[in-house]
């Protein structure tokens, strides 16, 4: 029971830590894009691309991991 409480507490701390660093990373990236004379949207496009890529890659992994029943029929 104590391990679960400790694990649950550490997960909550990780989520808070991750959110704080996410916003810091986004603001820093947008600032640096402005420093080199580009719009901050360039940085946003990179982020949107990575957010889009993750679910698509999971879906493709799911499709590839399904057994191919039509190629290898199972006889009972």
Segments of the chain scoring below 50 in pLDDT: 1-2
Is 74 domain-assigned?
Answer: no
Number of domains forming the structure of the chain: 1
Is 60 domain-assigned?
Answer: yes
Question: Containing domain of residue 20, as a range?
Answer: 2-65
Half-sphere exposure of 70 (CA within 13 A, CB side): 0
Q: What is the pLDDT of residue 10?
A: 60
Pair 27, 6: CB distance under 8 Å: no
DSSP 18: H
Pair 26, 47: CB distance under 8 Å: yes
If 0-12 CB within 10 Å is exposed, 13-18 middle and 19+ buried, where does residue 35 land? exposed
* Model confidence pLDDT, tens digit, residues 14-34: 777 777 888 888 888 888 888
Which helix (H) or strand (E) segment is 58 a member of? helix 41-65
């Amino acid at each position: 029971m104590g391990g679960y409480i400790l694990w649950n507490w550490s997960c909550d701390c990780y989520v808070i830590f991750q959110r704080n660093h996410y916003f810091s990373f986004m603001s820093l990236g947008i600032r640096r894009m402005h420093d080199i004379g580009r719009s901050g949207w360039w940085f946003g496009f990179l982020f949107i691309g990575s957010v889009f890529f993750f679910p698509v890659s999971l879906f493709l992994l799911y499709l590839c991991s399904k057994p191919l029943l039509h190629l290898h029929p199972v006889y009972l």
